Amino acid sequence: MSRCPLFIPLTILFATLLSITPVSASTDDNIIVYKINISGNDKTNEKIIHRELTFNLNDTLLASEIDYHAQRSKENLNNTRLFNFITITYHILNGRIEWTIAVEERWYIWPYPILEYEDRNFSAFIKNGKLSRVNYGTNININNFRGMNEQIKLKLILGHRKQISFQYITNNLDRHKKHGLSVGVSYYTKNEINYASIQNRPQYYISKDRPARRIAFVEAIYKFRPKHNWYHSITLKSYFSTINDTVAILNPNYFGDNEKESWYNLANYEITHDRRDSKIYPLKGYILRGELGYETFSKKSTPNNLYTQFMTGYYTNIFSRLYGGLDLMGKISSQPNLPYFINQAIGYTDFIRGYEYYVTNGTSFMLSKNSLKFELLPPKVINLPLIPEGSFKKTHLALYLSVFADAGYVKTHSHLPSNNLEGDFIYGYGVGFDIVAYYDIVFRIEYSFNKFGEGGLFFHFGTPFLTYK
């Protein structure tokens, strides 16, 4: 089994550099919070902003922790994704502190057209070069509904996937805003589906006369947030899905036992401790997430599956304009082989850079993503020309040079010996540029290599880190 000559030393370098921790001085003076001024929240209820602050009126704070409270409160507000810009200042006089929080709200109602690709990532879409894999339609997102950080999502999609869905999300089931609920329903059909994996690549079937697959599902998620950085959730999902005769012939294990329909149910519990400065592009902080789930299937021949999954990330400013990040995830399942439609591992939601065109299937796997980032252009505010004053006038923009090394392992399950990525050590490494802009836009240009010696230029939208819910 081959090994990457750069992955091991790069991993050691990342771990060593990330162990550097700055030390700060402190004092023990007590400061009383006697006033909190909030401005700019034309839509957002002040209760939503107060919920994210690490201090309350009449609290006693240590003078040495004032800057910490300002920074953490700003990060909490930023992670609500309600505001484009946040400024927190304070004034201390005679042992009392007056806080001033100024926010600039985003645009909250988004009736916009949908134009999206169906592939697992943007580079795979470019390689396939099929305009038929484009979805189009309309999406109406009402964010910060009633000014209470609630969401209503309506979606109508045509094109490669036909879908209609509705979702409502609230975090305000109690006056302390610790309990929340998300409910959703959806129905969609596909004429083209990935029915199997051969030589580590997804195989597609296109149905000309009727949908290759139909899916209807309902979902309910209960959320509990006892503290700023702690999140608990219990999820219940139920899917009813059918495939046409040809798909069942091409892969008898798609649902298992040559079946053409399946009920799939999921119940899981998740706990997350999130101390990142940004959920989209973190530069400092850490996250810990654990999940315990139970999957059931309508067919008695398919055994129920109990699984556990963990995800963790650590991000730090090593020195000056150099940042580092380590991400690690793993999943262990009680069943070694599940029906193909649910048996997805590395290469679907999260992938190893350099393997954008490949997929792996399995129920147990591990994945590590490591990067060093140099800040070429520090985040700066730009006033866009020809744009009237409002939520779109100003944008923040930053540019980073990235060096990365990813690795993973998927426990062998496949009956196809050509899928040789499963059961073997997988690695990829390379360099890239990350462009980070407002409204959580991240565009990446990366040149990476994989274990096969293949190198290529890849384009991506979205975070380079693990995908956290």
Tell which CATH classification among 3.40.50.300, 2.40.160.50, 3.40.50.2300, 1.20.1090.10 matches the domain 109-365: 2.40.160.50
For residue 461, name the pLDDT band (cuts at 50, 70, 90).
confident
Nearest-angstrom CA–CA distance, 139 and 163: 11
User: What does the pLDDT average to over 207-234?
Assistant: 93
- Where along the chain do its domains lie? 26-105, 109-365
For residue 441, name the pLDDT band (cuts at 50, 70, 90).
confident
pLDDT digit string, tens, across residues 391-426:
556 677 899 999 999 999 999 865 566 688 998 999
The structure's pTM equals 0.76
Answer yes or no: are the C-beta atoms of 84 and 391 closer than 8 Å. Answer: yes
Residues 6+ apart with CB under 8 A from 209: none
pLDDT at 452 over 50: yes
Beta-strand pair 213-227/201-206: unpaired
pLDDT digit string, tens, across residues 287-298:
999 999 999 998
pLDDT digit string, tens, across residues 194-210:
899 888 888 889 888 88
For residue 463, name the pLDDT band (cuts at 50, 70, 90).
confident
What pLDDT score was predicted for residue 23?
37
Which of 139-143, 228-232, 263-267, 449-453 bottoms out in mean pLDDT, i.e. has the lowest? 139-143
pLDDT at 112 over 90: no
Please give the mean pLDDT across all residues of the chain.
Answer: 86
pLDDT exceeding 70 applies to what percent of the chain? 84
For residue 61, name the pLDDT band (cuts at 50, 70, 90).
very high
**What superfamily in CATH does domain 26-105 come from?**
membrane protein fhac (3.10.20.310)
Answer yes or no: are the C-beta atoms of 330 and 368 closer than 8 Å. Answer: no
Which of 84-88, 168-172, 205-209, 245-249 bottoms out in mean pLDDT, i.e. has the lowest? 205-209
Exposed e or buried b per residue across 78-115, where buried means at least 16 C-beta atoms within 10 angstroms of its C-beta: bbbbbbbbbebebeeeeeebebebebbbbebeeeeebe
Choice between 24 and 264, residue whose per-residue pLDDT is larger = 264
Backbone angles phi, psi at 108, to 5 degrees: -100, -25
Q: Can you give 234-247 as a three-state secondary structure string?
A: EEEEEEEEEECHHH
Choice between 394 and 27, residue whose per-residue pLDDT is larger = 394
In sequence order, what are the beta bridge partners of 60?
A: 32
Answer yes or no: are the C-beta atoms of 351 and 447 closer than 8 Å. Answer: no
Choice between 338 and 300, residue whose per-residue pLDDT is larger = 338
User: How long is the chain?
Assistant: 469
pLDDT digit string, tens, across residues 78-97:
888 899 889 999 999 999 99
For residue 125, name the pLDDT band (cuts at 50, 70, 90).
low
What pLDDT score was predicted for residue 282?
93
